[in-house]
Chain A
């Protein structure tokens, strides 16, 4: 059964730092992995979708990588800003056509 883990659960850094959020999964037979952002009490905003055949995707200051063989994905945020403060969730779409979610990383960027 697929399990998705996000480490760390929470992260607080000063503004301007580059940072990496991690997502690991136990079954490498996946179709894709999607990173989302959720502001407190709000819905989910899709950030990046990486198909299983891709190694990375980029959008602005965000870069997501995927290494299926090791069961890992990273979300890299460059030059962090206070507006990046949110909970970041990864979700894996796997062989059983289920979307399995990580518990999220709560990110706080201090001005």
Chain B
């Protein structure tokens, strides 16, 4: 069965500290990988996708095919990063499944 695991439901860090949100996936083939973010009272929106290899709002994510992981990282967390984060592998037909999500709280 296809599965996405985000092991931490809640993650709390202080402002300026590094943060890593973990994501492991279990899929046949080679899915495309995304991170989505949901700020308070807003709709989900794309944060970044692995194929772009870009940094968005200071976040990066490295795909490790050997470990089937796509962890999201930021070296210095900011209070405005507090949100719900979802890892989402996508099949090549664009059928997208989401992890259970990690709620990140950045404390002042």
Please indicate whether A and B come from the same complex rather than being unrelated chains.
Answer: no
B residues adjacent to A (C-beta < 8 A)? none
